[in-house]
């Protein structure tokens, strides 16, 4: 009786399907594996060009804040985009004013002699350097949005402009024409920079390699340093050219009778003091909390 029941159960047990023990049973070795990829959505060529241009010129979507707003709200947002002071000026208080006052006095103590030197690099009167150090930051306070950017003349631009305009007019004999041409050059430089900002062409700087920028800055630093030899050595008759050969010839030709040891002593002492102060600031000082 038990034997017959076992025989009856064996065929039923054999009818159950066997579970696969490995992946080889699912994908037989004789069939190749085919990876199916979905068909991409077909795009319009005009839409692709429009999307690419939008990504280049407007990656941050500057008009997104105007979407879904009323006419009065759009007008206020437009004024705030042109004059950011209308936005952050509402939260301005006395505490922020104290910090800005200290920062302004600190920067002014550095910018006043520095910008006078920049004006001399461009062979212009010292007051023009002071104008450039006062008017641009005052204008940027109303039109700018960054809290950390520095506005004003730089040594490289001053030197390049002075060296180019000297090829047309002598800054000593034709001072009026020289100054007028300098104003014209700075005016069109400002128009060009404003146009680049309006059309959002800042991405063009990406086409300049890092080696090109480093080489330009290094060459400009050497040129500026050579131009300081006139005041460092007290040379009266100095060359108007900015290349290294003309400058060094002018320096060594004035060596027998044109150098001033007083200027060299004061300049060397100031340079040594600045280098020592820079080294002291860079060295970390460890003060124990408990003695």
Q: Tens digits of per-residue pLDDT, 170-210?
A: 888 888 999 999 999 999 998 998 888 888 787 788 788 88
Q: Tens digits of per-residue pLDDT, 70-122?
A: 888 888 888 888 888 888 888 888 988 898 889 888 888 888 888 888 898 88
pLDDT tier, 28 (very low <50, low <70, confident <90, very high otherwise): low
C-alpha–C-alpha distance, residues 156 and 238, integer Å: 20
CB-based contacts of 115-121 (< 8 A; 24+ apart in sequence): 115/152, 115/153, 117/155, 118/153, 118/154, 118/155, 118/158, 119/153, 119/158, 121/155, 121/158, 121/159, 121/162, 121/224, 121/227
User: pTM of the predicted model, to two decimals?
Assistant: 0.62
State which H helix or E strand residue 133 sits in: helix 126-143
């Amino acid at each position: 009786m038990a034997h017959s029941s076992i025989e009856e159960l064996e065929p039923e047990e054999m009818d159950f399907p066997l579970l696969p023990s490995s992946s080889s049973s699912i994908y037989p070795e004789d069939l190749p594996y085919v990876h199916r990829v979905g068909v991409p959505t077909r795009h319009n060529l005009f839409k692709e060009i429009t999307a690419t241009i939008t990504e280049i010129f407007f990656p941050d979507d500057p008009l997104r804040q105007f979407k879904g707003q009323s006419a009065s709200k759009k007008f206020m947002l437009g004024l705030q985009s042109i004059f950011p002071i209308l936005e952050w000026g509402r939260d301005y208080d006395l505490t922020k004013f104290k910090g800005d006052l200290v920062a302004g006095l600190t920067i002014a103590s550095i910018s006043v002699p520095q910008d006078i030197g920049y004006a001399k690099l461009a062979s212009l009167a010292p007051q023009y350097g002071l104008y450039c150090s006062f008017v641009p930051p005052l204008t940027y306070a109303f039109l700018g949005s960054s809290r950390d950017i520095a506005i004003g003349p730089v040594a490289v631009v001053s030197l390049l402009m002075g060296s180019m305009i000297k090829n047309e007019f002598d800054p000593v004999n034709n001072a009026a024409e020289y100054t007028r041409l300098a104003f014209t050059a700075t005016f069109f430089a400002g128009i060009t920079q404003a146009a680049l900002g309006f059309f959002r062409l800042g991405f063009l700087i990406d086409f300049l390699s890092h080696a090109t920028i480093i080489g330009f800055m290094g060459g400009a630093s050497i040129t500026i340093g050579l131009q300081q030899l006139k005041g460092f050595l007290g040379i009266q008759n100095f060359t108007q050219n900015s290349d290294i050969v003309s400058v060094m010839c002018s320096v060594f030709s004035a060596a027998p009778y044109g150098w001033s040891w007083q200027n060299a002593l004061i300049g060397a002492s100031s340079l040594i003091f600045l280098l020592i102060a820079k080294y002291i600031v860079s060295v970390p000082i460890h003060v124990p909390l408990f003695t």
